[in-house]
């Protein structure tokens, strides 16, 4: 049977070098957590190509050319396609899933986020390297088991027979980041969801720059020209950036280096500073 995700086309060695992982690659829960963190540390979340009107291709060849060879960032579908392929090549069983962001409102949103179910030797895990401000490590498919990851606490809550929600603790409350049905998706489903997310006029990723890096201690977001720094139990810091400061932040804070012509094009697409 043809592999619809084309995982055999992945340059696994180049990917592992890109994320700086030179440790054990046996398909265990420990390795999965290490790979998850390494990927997030190395590859930023960004929607720059959407803002530039280039669109986003989610076939594996295009994704690895961009995120691995050109050392760029990407958004959820790109991260999910790449990470899923790498995990499969390493011997994990991987199921691609599509999720609805939010979930605390009155009406269900479209499925606009890609995440992964990964099987290890004894457990199933939700792995998600493409949410930007989400998980640092995978969560086990076990309801009622909160996990602290650095300064952040998450849980995977069952909301139906095959439905789950990823929740983050905010003070005394749990806030839903996204919900999903544990239902395998096809590559064609991801293509359609990506097309909607990257082109629909009211999509949050259309017409607005979003770049994110997260670690144990902080989340840094660049939304348009506004740089936001969030840390647990500390006031949020925000400020607007000039053109030169945007370029510096992309390079020094988010690890995103653009060619001079790309940077000029991006600055022209942003609201005036």
SS3 108: coil
Angstrom distance (rounded) from CA 78 to CA 25: 22
Q: Give the pLDDT of residue 271.
A: 84
| R_g of the chain computed on alpha carbons | 18
- Inter-helix orientation angle 76-89/29-42, to 10°: 140
Catalytic annotation, residues: 76, 113, 128
Task: Take residue 193 and report the two structure tokens written for it.
Answer: 């969801």
194-216 pLDDT, tens digit per residue, is 999 999 999 999 989 999 999 99
Angstrom distance (rounded) from CA 223 to CA 110: 22
- 173-181 and 163-170: which strand pairing? antiparallel
Q: Give the pLDDT of residue 266.
A: 95
Residue 155 pLDDT greater than 50, yes or no:
yes
pTM, rounded to two decimals: 0.96
Number of CB atoms found within 10 A of residue 5's CB: 19
Quick one: average pLDDT of 111-124?
95
Helix (H) or strand (E) holding 39: helix 29-42
Task: Take residue 216 and report the two structure tokens written for it.
Answer: 């144990």
DSSP assignment of 11-23, as one string?
Answer: -HHHHHHHHT--S
Tokens 């030169």 sit on residue = 244
Angstrom distance (rounded) from CA 256 to CA 72: 6
Angstrom distance (rounded) from CA 94 to CA 83: 10
Q: Give the pLDDT of residue 104.
A: 66
Q: Which domains does the chain show, CATH number per domain?
A: 7-269 (3.30.2140.20)
54-85 pLDDT, tens digit per residue, is 999 999 999 999 999 999 999 999 999 999 99
167-190 pLDDT, tens digit per residue, is 999 989 999 999 999 999 999 999
Residue 1 pLDDT greater than 50, yes or no:
no
């Amino acid at each position: 049977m043809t592999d619809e995700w084309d995982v055999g086309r992945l340059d696994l060695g180049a990917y592992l070098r890109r994320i700086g992982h030179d440790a054990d690659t046996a398909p265990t829960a420990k390795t999965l957590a290490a790979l998850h963190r390494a990927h997030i540390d190395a590859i930023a979340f960004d929607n720059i190509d959407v803002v530039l009107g280039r669109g986003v291709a989610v076939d594996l060849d295009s994704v690895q050319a961009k995120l691995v060879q050109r050392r760029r960032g990407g958004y959820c579908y790109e991260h999910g396609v790449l990470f899923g392929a790498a995990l499969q090549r390493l011997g994990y069983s991987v199921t691609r899933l599509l999720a609805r962001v939010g979930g605390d409102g009155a009406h269900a949103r479209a499925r606009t986020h890609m995440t992964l179910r990964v099987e290890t030797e004894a457990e199933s895990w939700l792995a998600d390297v493409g949410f930007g401000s989400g998980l640092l490590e995978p969560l086990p498919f076990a309801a009622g088991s909160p996990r602290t990851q650095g300064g952040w606490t998450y849980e995977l809550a069952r909301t139906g027979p095959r439905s789950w929600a990823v929740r983050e603790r905010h003070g005394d409350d749990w806030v839903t980041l996204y919900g999903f049905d544990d239902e395998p998706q096809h590559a064609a489903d991801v293509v359609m969801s990506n097309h909607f997310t990257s082109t629909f006029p009211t999509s949050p990723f259309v017409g607005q720059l979003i770049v994110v890096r997260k670690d144990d201690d902080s989340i840094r977001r660049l939304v348009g020209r506004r740089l936001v720094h969030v840390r647990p139990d500390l006031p949020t810091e925000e400020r607007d950036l000039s053109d030169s400061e945007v370029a510096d932040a992309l390079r020094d804070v988010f690890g995103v280096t653009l060619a001079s012509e790309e940077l000029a094009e991006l600055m022209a697409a942003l609201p005036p500073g």
